[in-house]
Amino acid sequence: MTKKPQGNGSSPSGQNESLQALLVELEQFGQENDAAITDRLRQMLNMLRQLSNLSSSLN
């Protein structure tokens, strides 16, 4: 089994915090977009956070 790359050398907790902040920002943007767009084909239709976490842990 191969190890996953550790990124650019910054601390894992710092990476995790940055990633979480980005995910929250994207989630908020998607919710605002979907609330403003009534055409379902143009909505982003975000995954629930719990499903996203499960999906990422399966990689």
Domain spans, the chain = 14-57
Gap between the Cα atoms of 43 and 29, Å rounded: 11
Please provide residue 16's backbone torsions phi and psi, each rounded to the nearest 5 degrees: -60, -45
Q: Is 24 helix (H, G, I), strand (E, B) or coil?
A: helix
Go through 4-16 and write b for each residue having 16 or more CB atoms within 10 A of its CB, e for each that does not.
Answer: eeeeeeeeeeeee
Cβ neighbours, 10 Å, residue 26: 13
**23-55: per-residue pLDDT in tens?**
889 889 988 988 998 888 888 877 777 777 788
Mean pLDDT of 8-15: 60
Give me the amino acid identity at 37: I
